[in-house]
Amino acid sequence: MSTWKAAQVDRLKPLVFLLGLFPLGRWVWLGFNNGLSANPAEFLTRSSGVWALVLLLLTLALSPVRRLLAQPALVRWRRMLGLFSFFYAALHTLAWAWWDRSGDWLSMWQDVVQRPLITIGVVAVLILLVLTLTSTNGWQKRLGRGWSRLHQTVYLAAVLSILHFYLIRIGKNDVVEVYVYGLVLAGLLALRRWPALNKTAH
């Protein structure tokens, strides 16, 4: 397989952007066609959280995939996928704040302090917020080597997101989907430590 040039990868960015908008477009379509289930608020809260996690895992998957395929230019999609992950995580948080807590700051604070699943979820979103704000080339230059160390916390955000998801689903005795995402993350972490993979060109 020939190595893709940066310009070739960049030409596909609009397609990646449209794919990132797919969940939002799907919600709009379902909304106009009465397909948001009997409880639209719960559906949108749950769906936005799942898509945030899926896009986060796709973001993390780009590094091992580009090395396995010897296509270093694929990294040029990583920031866009990461931004979409934060976008849906932010919508997930807003859905919780608006529909579950009715926009009551005191109620939200009590939820964060008293409910571990909320605490963990909020920490994960805050990590993604920091990574989003510092994802620009300007911040990369300002932080130097510290930028890479800071952005390694994306793995912590992924672990916390899956733990948050698990704590939600364990109460419903429905954790199979969580295990699938957990195995995907474990596989990505294993690939990250695989010596043969790390020797390939970045």
- Residue 52 predicted with pLDDT over 80: yes
What is the pLDDT averaged over residues 84-107? 96
Contacts of residue 93, defined as CB under 8 A and 6 or more positions apart, other chains included, come to 121, 122, 125
Q: Which of 67, 164, 182, 82 is nearest to 124 (CA)?
A: 164
What is the pLDDT averaged over residues 27-32? 95
- Residue 195 predicted with pLDDT over 70: no
Tokens of 51: 């898509």
pLDDT of residue 68: 87
Q: Do residues 168 and 161 touch, judged by C-beta distance below 8 A?
A: no
- Residue 201 predicted with pLDDT over 50: no
- Residue 113 predicted with pLDDT over 70: yes
Torsion of CA 77, 194, 3, 154, to 10 degrees: 10
- Residue 163 predicted with pLDDT over 80: yes
What is the pLDDT averaged over residues 41-67? 95
Q: What percent of the chain has pLDDT over 70?
A: 96
What is the pLDDT averaged over residues 11-35? 95
Q: What percent of the chain has pLDDT over 90?
A: 80
Average model confidence (pLDDT) across the chain: 93
Q: DSSP assignment of 17-42, as one string? A: HHHHHHHHHHHHHHHHTT-S-S-HHH
Give the architecture (CATH level 2) of 6-198: Up-down Bundle (1.20)
pLDDT of residue 80: 96
Distance CA 134, CA 170 (A): 34
Q: Which of 3, 6, 151, 11 is nearest to 76 (CA)?
A: 6
Q: Do residues 181 and 57 touch, judged by C-beta distance below 8 A?
A: yes
Distance CA 182, CA 176 (A): 10
Return the domain boundaries, the chain: 6-198
pLDDT of residue 202: 42
What is the pLDDT averaged over residues 44-59? 97
What is the pLDDT averaged over residues 2-12? 88
What is the pLDDT averaged over residues 117-127? 98
